[in-house]
Amino acid sequence: MREDPITTPTDRGRALVRGAYDLHVHVDPDVVGRIVDDVTLAERCALHGLAGFGLKSHYTSTAERARTVNATAPDGVRAVGAITLNAAVGGLNPLAVEIAAREGARIVWLPTVDAVNELGARERTYAPGVHVPMWVAIQQELREAGMETPPVPVLNGGGTPTAALLSVLEVVAKHQLILATGHLDRDEIFAVVRAARAAGVRDVVVTHPEFPSQDLSIPDQAALAAEGAILERCFTTPFTGKCTWAHVAEGIRATGPGNNLLSTDLGQPKNPPVEDGLALFADRLLEHGITDEEIQTMTVHQSRRLAEGGDR
């Protein structure tokens, strides 16, 4: 059940995340309606002292779009380009990653809506009146239009990385991009983290480990952190009742703030304003015993290092 949400950040929460990037947002232009467009978000970030945001699309590269936003963004605010390796860009397509990197992208997400792990969500029949996730609705519309594509596997039948994944990892390592695990399942995530680290990828981010389609146990999270992965905690996961705030705080304590990144995953019309998300996240974590210094480590320090390419 969704907890009673607080939707107005405190001054303390805003101060703690000042200077941070929110590296996981879904904003217009997009294939589905979003609460704000990227140009307006840049202006709002400036008002609240945020450094910028990572533009995530499930369907296309945002590298060129980020450059356009940055041409007009207020001083001190920057949009970060990304690509997500779903079927719309050819799946595990090293050429798409190479082009995105040359255009300035920093983040590569492995499959999300087209992950093998999400096949059940794509094919499920939802009862009348039940809220259908926005991305699931798009997938169902594409299927009805005869444009459904098979899921994009990252592992072979024996659980080893596919040749296509290894080719992608080679490009990610060459450009030292951030690799995010998207909507992969537990076994896929462990295999990808190990393969990426072996390929020389410095920054591997485990996307929303508490999300139902990932649902990584606390021991699994600790094991991934020990292998050098960063755990990305997304505001929307507990805010929408998919897990508790206490569970997120437990994961942070088990893995250490230095191995964590706070993002929001915001942009949906029924959720809070994107520019408020990190501050709201800070407020809720403070209630669960996470300290000011720890929040700044996971927001300001970690996000700036990732966005700007610094060393750990």
Is residue 19 in some structural domain? Answer: yes
Number of domains in the chain: 1
Is residue 136 in some structural domain? Answer: yes
- The mean of the pLDDT values for the chain is 93
Which residues, in sequence order, are bridge partners of residue 84?
109
* pLDDT, tens digit (0-9, with 9 covering 90-100), for 89-101: 999 999 999 999 9
* pLDDT, tens digit (0-9, with 9 covering 90-100), for 21-40: 999 999 999 998 899 999 99
Task: Look up residue 213 and give its DSSP letter.
Answer: T
197: domain CATH number is 3.20.20.140
Q: Which amino acid is at 257?
A: P
CA–CA separation, 98 vs 175, rounded Å?
8
Is residue 221 in some structural domain? Answer: yes
Is residue 2 in some structural domain? Answer: no
Range of the domain at 87: 11-308
Sign, CA dihedral 15-20-23-25, equals positive
Is residue 189 in some structural domain? Answer: yes
Residue 94: both structure tokens together: 């090293």
Contact 184, 113 (CB under 8 A): no
Q: Which amino acid is at 121?
A: A
- CA separation, residue 303 to residues 51, 99, 131, 223, 275 (Å): 9, 24, 32, 22, 15
Q: What is the model's pLDDT at position 122?
A: 58
CA–CA separation, 67 vs 73, rounded Å?
10
Contact 82, 177 (CB under 8 A): no
Is residue 180 in some structural domain? Answer: yes
Confidence band, pLDDT 50/70/90 cuts, at residue 131:
low
Is residue 4 in some structural domain? Answer: no
Is residue 124 in some structural domain? Answer: yes
CA–CA separation, 123 vs 213, rounded Å?
14
Contact 100, 109 (CB under 8 A): no
